[in-house]
Amino acid sequence: MAPPFTQPHIEPSPRRIRILFAGTYIVDTQRSKLVWLKPYYPTYFFESADVPMRYLKEVSKSADVQTYDVVVGERKAEAAATEHLAGDLEGLIEIKFGAMDAWFEEEEQVFVHPKDPYKRVDVLQSSRHVRVEVNGVEVANTRKPRLLFETSLPVRTYIPKTDCRMDLLVSSDLTTSCPYKGTANYYSVKTPSGETFKDIAWWYHVPLPECADIKGFIAFYDEKVDVWVDGVHQKRPNSIWS
């Protein structure tokens, strides 16, 4: 069965999953479940027998769910585990991804959330002529973009820094993470008039291997700038995903 699914959708995962917290693997199982609670990506759930109770301290209980702190030694992740007591998810425990120190699929660390087995990400070299303007000021002009195609998301255009107006780009403190691409750093654009357009471009200093070809290239939020491709002005997409 392929997406779109009716939520929640539950599938067994064939991968060994381990969760590291406070120097201890609190979960180590080959029986995890991928559960789609929303259309965009799955979440790992675990059978209660695969989450040792010695690491869980009950904090609340209702007819449907039981909530636990995850405790290892002096470290505590508050309300980080939820056991479902009824419905489609009965008998399964969810652990908050960001509350743990690290997650591993086999020997590979995964970030942000589990990768969707139905999602594909491809980076292709292109010869399209791409121009980007911010409030009428050209900030990029290239004939050698790299296009990133990610299932169900808008195509993103990555542009060499040498084809961008780096004198108008101001480094930002913002970073975001993606399980497919890695950690992104952001730029704001400051136009000659003094206007600042905050965090409207990003780049990956060290992208993950499957997206290595975007290393050092800059992408602009097509939702917030004006883009021409081969001379044709593009309609702005609605998505906010990077």
Closest CA relative to residue 82, chosen from 91, 69, 93: 93
For the segment 68-87, what is each residue's pLDDT rounded down to a tens digit?
999 999 999 999 999 999 99
User: Does one domain contain both 210 and 184?
Assistant: yes
Q: Which of 80, 110, 140 is the last residue of a domain?
A: 110
User: What's the pLDDT tens digit per position in 191-237?
Assistant: 999 999 999 999 999 999 999 999 999 999 999 999 999 999 998 87
Residues 95 and 125 in one domain: no
> Does the pLDDT of residue 128 top 90, yes or no?
yes
Q: What's the CA gap between 242 and 239, in Å, rounded?
A: 9
pLDDT number for residue 241 = 47
pLDDT at residue 179 greater than cutoff 90 = yes
Domain residue limits at 195: 121-233
* Same-domain pairing of 84 and 147: no
CATH number of the domain to which 45 belongs: 2.170.150.40
pTM of the shown model: 0.86
Q: Do 131 and 104 reside in the same domain of the chain?
A: no
- Partner residues linked to 181 by β-bridges: none
Q: Is residue 209 part of a domain?
A: yes
Residue 136's alpha-carbon distances to 104, 131, 139, 237, in angstroms, are 46, 11, 9, 19
Nearest residue to 96 (alpha-carbon basis) of 67, 64, 62, 74: 67
* 132 shares its domain with 207: yes
